[in-house]
Amino acid sequence: MALTNAERQRRYRQKLKARASGEAAGDLVRAMVDRAVAVLWRVRAAAAPEDALIVPAGLPADPPTTQPSLDAFRATLARHPASLLALCRTTLQRSQALGLEERALLCSLLEIEAALRLSRPRQP
């Protein structure tokens, strides 16, 4: 069923209001994490064998001959949640393949983590 213009505008205003009030913070962070996982997977898939040192705890140290799918990579990170942040830090320090937006995204996740720990963000 197609939405009327008024209904689309109402939903859009609700989203803006939720973002401004902080109600949508969880959704925004989840979206950031989804984008970050895709960036990390791309960087890891494009890494040369000598760059395979970017391996967080919980991921196999000897990568298989074929790159795991994005879903498999995400599932591994889900089993070891601290690995996501460690991989963000390591990727920021070692990877030259990051664009400005990707670097900003990973830095933002680390800043959120620092805020939740009530500490200052670490410098990557």
Instruction: Please report which residue ranges of 47-99 form alpha helices under DSSP H.
Output: 70-79, 81-94
pLDDT at residue 64 above 80? no
- In this prediction, residue 87 carries a pLDDT of 93
| pLDDT 10s digits, 9-29 | 999 998 888 878 888 888 889
CB atoms within 10 A of CB 65: 5
pLDDT at residue 88 above 70? yes
As a whole number, mean pLDDT of residues 36-55 equals: 74
Residue, of 86 and 65, whose pLDDT is higher: 86
- In this prediction, residue 61 carries a pLDDT of 54
Residue 85 lies in a domain: yes
Burial bucket for residue 20 (CB in 10 Å: 0-12, 13-18, 19+): exposed
**Could you tell me the CA-to-CA distances from 109 to 63, 69, 70, 93 in Å, in that order?**
25, 23, 19, 15
Residue 123 lies in a domain: no
Residue 124 lies in a domain: no
Structural domain containing residue 35: 5-116
> Could you give the number of structural domains in the chain?
1
